[in-house]
Amino acid sequence: AGYKIALTTPAMRSMVGIADPVAGDLLEKSLHRSPARVRSADYRRLLVEFEIAVEMGEDLPAVQAPYTRERVAQAVAAVMPAFELIDDREADLALLRAHPLMLIAENAWNEGAVLGAPVQDWRSIDLAAVRGVASVNGLVVGEGSGSDVMGHPLEALAWVANNLAARGLGLWRSDVVITGSLVTSERPQAGDRLRFELDGLGAVELDVA
């Protein structure tokens, strides 16, 4: 179904002792459409991140790498707000710093994503300047912009395409890529309602039971 990118900021990479971002898989069975509902009891420790997601409109095979931001932009069919659902399994950060490959082995903790409505007419929007507002139960808990993700969300997409190509893999039409969180992760409790709104790109909503 697609991919995620984690550790898009120097601070996050420093926290876990990894020098580069990390890619993980998004599985079809774990993708939800907004408005969505999940049960906190299904996770050891549920965390939610607030992201810009893209849906691919054409293939980016390994043989055509390396890819630039401009090239991957041509291949994007739609853009939308998204939540990433994470279960860090109560990770011990000291242990993780000593054994950073654990994060990769655990698929960068991904347990799915919630996708807002796809916006196909996105090219007039400056994704680096897009402002995102995250709220829990109607109270704003964080704000960020697209430039917080590697300078531009499509730089993150290019990184994913090139990371896959280095392993002989490609991005394919209809794949979804979530490009990294604009806002600090939230740890929702049962009964919480989360909302993430992106200027010009709509909103995504999640209820936690």
Give me the sheet containing 31-33, strands edge to edge. Answer: 22-26, 2-6, 176-186, 46-56, 76-87, 110-115, 31-33
Query: What homologous superfamily is domain 2-208 in, according to CATH?
Result: Fumarylacetoacetase-like, C-terminal domain (3.90.850.10)
How much of the chain, in percent, has pLDDT values that exceed 70? 86
Question: Does the bond joining 153 to the residue before it have cis omega, within 30 degrees of 0?
Answer: no
The H-or-E segment that residue 158 falls in is helix 153-166
**Band of pLDDT at residue 100, cut at 50, 70 and 90:** low
Q: What DSSP character marks residue 85? A: E
Task: Render pLDDT for 6-47 as a digit per residue (tens, 0 to 9).
Answer: 878 776 666 667 778 888 888 888 899 999 999 999 998 898
Asked if residue 155 has pLDDT above 80, the reply is yes
Q: Report which of 198, 11, 185 is spatially closest to residue 117, judged by C-alpha positions.
A: 198
**One-letter amino acid for residue 190 of the chain:** A
Please state whether the predicted TM-score (pTM) of the whole model is above 0.85: yes
Residue pair 38/209 in contact (Cβ under 8 Å)? The answer is: yes
**Band of pLDDT at residue 195, cut at 50, 70 and 90:** very high
